[in-house]
Structure 1
Amino acid sequence: MNHIMRCDEDDKIKRLYEASMEGCVDTLKSLIQDDPLILSKISLSPYGETPLHVSALFGHLNFTKKLLSIKPQGPKLAMELDRLKRSPLHLASAEGHTGIVQALIQVNDSMCLATDQDGKTPLHYAAMRGRVEVIKLLIGSQRESIWKNLNEGGETVLHLCVQYNQLGALRVLVESVGYENNEFLNSKDQHGNTILHLAVMLKQIETIKYLLSLSGVKKGAKTTLNQSGFTAFDTLEHIPKDFKSLQIQNAFQDVGLQRGTQQCNHHQLQQVQPSSSSSSIKAKTSCWGKCNRLMRYKGDWIKDKTGALLIVATLIATLSYQTAVNPPGGVWQESRNNTVDCNFENNCTAGTSVLAHHFNMKHQSEYLWFLICNSMAFISSLIIILLLLSGFPVRYRPCMWLLNLAICSALTFTTITYVLGTDMVSPSKIDDVPTWWICVGLVGSWVGLIGIIIAFQTIRLLVWVVKKLFICMFKCCMCRAKRTPGNHNIDGTARV
């Protein structure tokens, strides 16, 4: 008899859980009418979750409200936890069931501060999934949940928004805490990373732009260091380089942020090195000095542009290689030896360039120059990659001049290759438009501009070399004059 009663009770509880999965309110009413204590017997069942957990997870609003309205068991179910110490409010918040969240908060709003075994509150789950409306409900009920850290390391709900790339949730939370709340906006996790550090590591460009628009985050970005001693901008140098890295770098530069170490050193130098004379002060305040300060690049040009240079050089090398193996006009698809153009003397072998054969002398000559320019563009791009990746001291002026020369050469030969290739595959006339002369004019202007740049860089290098040689010669003469007897004045100074 007892066994039969136990089976009947287990069957009712099973039906209750099935009804909670389906959201069937009629079945719930029937079971409660049959056994008013059935909700109190849930704790005796082997299930890890309560029916309220199940209905909150599946989003059955009417079923949830009916469960909560049953006194006194309903309100108690709102405080029950599953095997992972999650309440029904945790599950409803994660799934974004706004109506159920509101119903659970009305019954017991203290569960907004309840934490599961990982230290997450319902607000943490809502932030991870970007449930903006749920976040507003939870904050409106228990504002203290914003300040609940995820763990002892100090990871906040803002860190979770960045980790899971939930910019909308981040905006709502920042608006709630205040844009000037510098302490919370720059709080650190267990590794000392702020939300800006984290956004840079994850290369979330939109999030970075939003954070840099906040005065509190922007102020902290200049001085806040993680455990490795890096600011958020310094962190950019220790992640793989790609187009996103370049966009992030530009985002920092748009708001006037550079590497923290360089800013610190520059500030120290300004304090330590006073102006030596009134002439230097006048130079700094003159129009030329102001223009020079405005045009001067505030940063390390090589470090800041290495990623972009590598990408451009790799792209030019790839284009040159593809053009070499697949030239304009294509290649012979099969060998031909018995035609007018392809005979024993001019063997048209499959896989060789069509325009390279001597039966068309114009194309043969152009193809030769095309091949030379394409090869020069390929070699120049490889030189750029070699200089940047080999650890070569590019900061020194001679090496910088060589790098600039390689960059100008790669761009110029790529341009000439384009013009030659276009001319070889184009008809002699296109509606009587002198396309060749247009291309020649454009290329000539480009080559002239590049020539001016190379000449300017070469003159700068020669001036620097002459200046260094003059200083060395002057020092040698002074040392020799001091060592030679009879070359001193009465006061002991050397005669020049």
Structure 2
Amino acid sequence: MEKNAINTNGLTAMDMYFQTKRDAHDGGIWLALRRAKVLKAKKLLKPKKSSRDWLDKQRTALMVVSSLIATMAFKAGINPPGGVWQDNENGHKEGTSIMARVEQGQQHNQGIYDAFLISNTIGLVSSLTVIVLLISGLPCMRLVMGLLMLTMWIAVTATTVTYIVSIYFLGTSKESLHSFKEDLLSNKHHLVQDTIIIASLAWIFLLGLLILGHVIRLLYKLIKKILRLVIRGVNRCTLRPRYHPPV
């Protein structure tokens, strides 16, 4: 016999239980229906949402975004901002990055290139990691997709840092590179500096909102699960059928 069978009125055994008058002895009936996992007709007729479709869409989106980031990071690595030297004069070497040039009294240039190289490498490696994991045939589970999305967050953040460092190098002259910190302390406003500060704060704010949203979501699920277990335990204690001795 089908436990979730629907009658001509569109009701299951669980629906009929809630619609009929109950007395003190009906707790055992409800408990038996719950143990048999009898559902209401509303839940049976509700169209099921396939999580597989959502996972497939996420997989496709991750593949596209990671491929784009890997392409940009590779291009920026072999052709850094400012280009490369075309001669061997003044102590520099042909084909080396202008951005990595360290002249006398310009030691801060090396720090800029190091920041660019580190962030660009992190973006490239993170995006390539996502691509390799996606094409390796891992099962499309929510946990796996969550780890892949976290890796993509790292790649996108590294790409943002790479862009900010590049704009800072290209949009600021050598004479003003050394005075960047002094200009910030003296409240002098420059377009490049203001753009970098606003972009950095906006990105930090966005990441903060995303992290806060996920934390709230996880806490909500955890509290909901705990409350469900508590309510289930209380119902088992209160609706347990009582023994009535024969008269």
**Which category of TM-score, normalised to the shorter sequence, fits these structures?**
0.5 to 0.7
Q: Give the AA of the match of 1:303.
A: D
Q: Choose from 314, 317, 333 the match for 2:86.
A: 333
C-alpha deviations, 1:185-212, integer Å up to 9, x for none?
Answer: xxxxxxxxxxxxxxxxxxxxxxxxxxxx
Distance change >3 Å, CA 465–CA 304, structure 1 → 2: same
Q: Choose from 123, 128, 137 the match for 1:382.
A: 128
C-alpha deviations, 1:124-180, integer Å up to 9, x for none?
Answer: xxxxxxxxxxxxxxxxxxxxxxxxxxxxxxxxxxxxxxxxxxxxxxxxxxxxxxxxx
Find the aligned partners of 2:99 and 2:170 in 1 and give their Cα distance. Answer: 9
Q: Choose from 412, 434, 443 the match for 2:157.
A: 412
Flag structure 2 segments of 5+ consecutive residues without an equivalent: 1-10, 20-39, 44-48, 177-188, 234-241
2:48 is aligned with 1:303: no
Number of residue-to-residue matches in the alignment: 178
Q: Give the AA of the match of 2:204.
A: V
Q: Give the AA of the match of 1:383.
A: T
Distance change >3 Å, CA 462–CA 403, structure 1 → 2: farther
Find the aligned partners of 1:464 and 1:384 in 2 and give their Cα distance. Answer: 27
Residue of structure 2 equivalent to 1:362:
108
Contact 2:102 2:110 in 1 (8 A): yes
Q: Choose from 119, 127, 142 the match for 1:373.
A: 119
Please say which structure displays the higher CA radius of gyration: 1
Q: Choose from 200, 221, 226 the match for 1:443.
A: 200
Residue of structure 1 equivalent to 2:191:
434
Find the aligned partners of 2:56 and 2:94 in 1 and give their Cα distance. Answer: 47
Distance change >3 Å, CA 462–CA 365, structure 1 → 2: farther
Q: Give the AA of the match of 1:449.
A: L
Find the aligned partners of 1:331 and 1:436 in 2 and give their Cα distance. Answer: 25
Find the aligned partners of 2:151 and 2:215 in 1 and give their Cα distance. Answer: 13
C-alpha deviations, 1:270-297, integer Å up to 9, x for none?
Answer: x99x78989xx9xx9xxxxxxxxxxx99
Q: TM-score, normalised by structure 1?
A: 0.31
Q: What secondary structure does 2:172 align onto?
A: coil
Task: Give how far 1:313 is off.
Answer: 0.9
Q: Give the AA of the match of 2:88.
A: S
Contact 1:328 1:421 in 2 (8 A): yes
Structure 1 vs Structure 2 CA RMSD: 4.0
2:76 is aligned with 1:319: no
Q: Give the AA of the match of 2:119.
A: C
Q: TM-score, normalised by structure 2?
A: 0.58
Find the aligned partners of 1:422 and 1:277 in 2 and give their Cα distance. Answer: 67
Q: What secondary structure does 1:327 align onto?
A: coil
Residue of structure 2 equivalent to 1:401:
146
Find the aligned partners of 1:422 and 1:382 in 2 and give their Cα distance. Answer: 25
Q: What secondary structure does 2:200 align onto?
A: helix
Find the aligned partners of 2:93 and 2:60 in 1 and give their Cα distance. Answer: 42
Distance change >3 Å, CA 418–CA 298, structure 1 → 2: same
Contact 1:373 1:413 in 2 (8 A): yes
Task: Give how far 1:316 is off.
Answer: 0.6
Task: Give how far 1:324 is off.
Answer: 0.6
Residue of structure 2 equivalent to 1:392:
138
Task: Give how far 1:455 is off.
Answer: 4.0
Task: Give how far 1:413 is off.
Answer: 1.5
Find the aligned partners of 2:54 and 2:163 in 1 and give their Cα distance. Answer: 29
Contact 2:172 2:192 in 1 (8 A): no
Task: Give how far 1:442 is off.
Answer: 2.0
Find the aligned partners of 1:322 and 1:461 in 2 and give their Cα distance. Answer: 38
The ranges of structure 1 where at least 4 consecutive aligned residues each deviate by more than 4 angstroms after the TM superposition are 274-278, 296-299, 458-468
Q: Relative contact order: is structure 1 or structure 2 higher (C-alpha 8 Å, sep ≥ 6)? A: 2
Find the aligned partners of 2:131 and 2:18 in 1 and give their Cα distance. Answer: 44
Find the aligned partners of 2:83 and 2:101 in 1 and give their Cα distance. Answer: 12
Task: Give how far 1:445 is off.
Answer: 0.9
Find the aligned partners of 2:157 and 2:199 in 1 and give their Cα distance. Answer: 12
Residue of structure 2 equivalent to 1:352:
96
Q: What secondary structure does 2:211 align onto?
A: helix
